[in-house]
Structure 1
Amino acid sequence: MTTIQIIDSIRLNRTGLQTKDANGRWVNVHKQQGDLDGACSIYSLVMAMLCQGMIEEQDIKLYNFPDRRTPKGKFLYHFFYEQGFIQNGYNYTALAREINEQPFEIRAIHKRPRTNDDRIELIGQFVSQNTPVVISTEFNDGAHALLAIGIESDENDVITKIFCLDPGAPSPKVSPWNCFIDVSKEGKSQYPFYYVTEVNTYKVTLDDMFIVEHKNFE
């Protein structure tokens, strides 16, 4: 029997897909490019931090100037004001390093599995631990960052789909995801998997990924 597993920090209701922010308030998780100014990886990072109660909705309001006297304020200022718009995307090695250099009490762990099977397995492990994963996909014209928040597995516990929040697509209204990557069959091309949204379907491959966690995480 097919099973679906979604991280337990999000819920879908009539107002949309929500999570509890650092202030304990239920807020909308999905951030579409245009809501903030920045690269897709920054949007995915913001969604991951909201899902884990690291920041408040108020922290990411446009024109809300962060208090740079605090570690969180310094973190937000760096990524929203100094590094907010990165035309060619954000290298995950650089992004993880910059997160870890900030005084804010979170850390980034960058992963670079060698094979697609290893990448799929690692995403499944993080989702099973209720940890959202910022993943990178590559396609014929470039690359794109997504936030993986769930998986589908078949009757043999083999992962067949990765459910994601895509900052480039409209917010989900009837499911906890607004796109998925079909990994049930690996084609022989350079881009072996299908990426699917309501409006687009094209072939991709999986690449680097990273997670963020509280520094006092045990």
Structure 2
Amino acid sequence: MIKIIDTLELTPDGARLGGTSKVHLRQGELDGACAVYSLMMYLIILRIFTYKQVTEGNNIKRSTSKGRIIRNFLERQDGLIRKGLGFADDIKDGLQFAAKSIVDCNYIASRQETIETLKRCIDDNKPLMIGVDYNKVDGHALLAIGYETRNDKIKKIFCLDPGSDITPVSYWNAVISIDEHSNTKYRDSYFTANGNVNKVTLADAIKIEKKK
């Protein structure tokens, strides 16, 4: 069974929030800010920002919670973020500092809890920001927007990947295939839009909820 969050709709122009607004953000070739791009896509789907607000940043007072998010994650870096941001410290702590009045943010540190949280989020039609590790040093952040199950177990995670372009005929542009390899820590496969396949491990996640 395949489940995709129902807030996304496939249109002739590609996957759109509510059928109208763009969501996918593409990071630069030299930019290590995959976590920031994934975070902003997350906040667009939660309707905290519009796509235009994220890409232009106009007409948002920097003294507000939304303005502090823009300032802290998009402006304070002074150009390229060459080293990726950590989930637990940079993203979670930075978001709580900037916008605790409008969002709740939780860091999920274990693989198993990430998988369990992912299913609950997608079933509730909410995305989840996930991290995969290539090795002890390098990792990548993606926004999970769906899954596929077999025998009631999640086997595929469908993601919006800031590291690749997305075609107008698909909801996702990357797939994490769970438990494809044995006798290794890096037992998952990461399928990219350009046809590359990398061994990774699903490592952790950030769950964000919009306060009512």
1:9/1:52 contact within 8 Å kept:
no
Alpha-carbon distance in 1 for matches of 2:177, 2:51: 31
Whether the 8 Å contact between 2:176 and 2:189 is mirrored in structure 1 is yes
**1:208 maps onto 2:197 in alignment:** no
**What 5-or-longer segments of structure 2 have no aligned partner?**
none
Partner of 2:52: 58
Alpha-carbon deviation of 1:63? 6.6
Q: CA deviation at 1:198?
A: 3.0
1:114-155 superposed Cα distances (whole Å, 9 cap, x missing partner): xx444322211221121211111011471100001100011x
State the partner residue of 1:17. Answer: 15
Find out whether 1:151 has 2:171 as its counterpart: no
Preserved CA contact (<8 Å) 1:4 1:151 = yes
Picking from 27, 32, 39, the partner of 2:33 is 39
Structure 2 residue 28 is the aligned partner of structure 1 residue 30 = no
Deviation at 1:186, TM superposition (A): 4.5
Report the equivalent of 1:133. 128
1:50 counterpart letter in structure 2 = I
> Which stretches of structure 1, 4 residues or more, deviate above 4 A after TM superposition?
none
Report if the CA contact (8 A) 2:166-2:193 is conserved. Answer: no
Q: Secondary structure at the match of 1:11?
A: strand
The one-letter code matched in structure 2 to 1:208 is: D
Q: Which amino acid aligns with 2:157?
A: I
Q: Is the 8 Å Cα contact of residues 131 and 211 (structure 1) preserved in structure 2?
A: no
Match of residue 174 from structure 1? 169
Q: Could you tell me which of 102, 106, 113 is aligned with 1:105?
A: 102
Shift of 1:111: 0.9
RMSD (Å), alpha carbons: 2.2
Residue 184 of structure 1: how far off its partner (Å): 4.9
Among residues 72, 88, 101, which one is paired with 2:83 in the alignment? 88
For structure 1, which segment, 163-172 or 69-78, has the greater mean C-alpha deviation from structure 2 after superposition? Answer: 69-78
Alpha-carbon contact 1:164-1:177 (below 8 Å) kept: yes
Which amino acid is 2:163 matched to? G
In 2, distance between residues paired with 1:198 and 1:74? 33
| Aligned mates of 2:65, 2:189 — CA distance in 1 | 40
Paired residue secondary structure (1:171): coil
| Residue 167 of structure 1: how far off its partner (Å) | 0.2
Farther off after superposition, 56-65 or 9-18: 56-65
- 8 Å CA contact 2:60–2:67 kept in 1: the answer is yes
1:72 and 1:144 map into 2 onto residues whose CA distance is 25
Distance in 2 between the 1:43 and 1:209 partners? 15
Change over 3 Å in CA distance of 1:149–1:63 after alignment to 2: closer
Q: Distance in 1 between matches of 2:4 and 2:167?
A: 14
What percent identity do the matched residue pairs reach? 33
- Which residue number corresponds to residue 5 of structure 1? 3
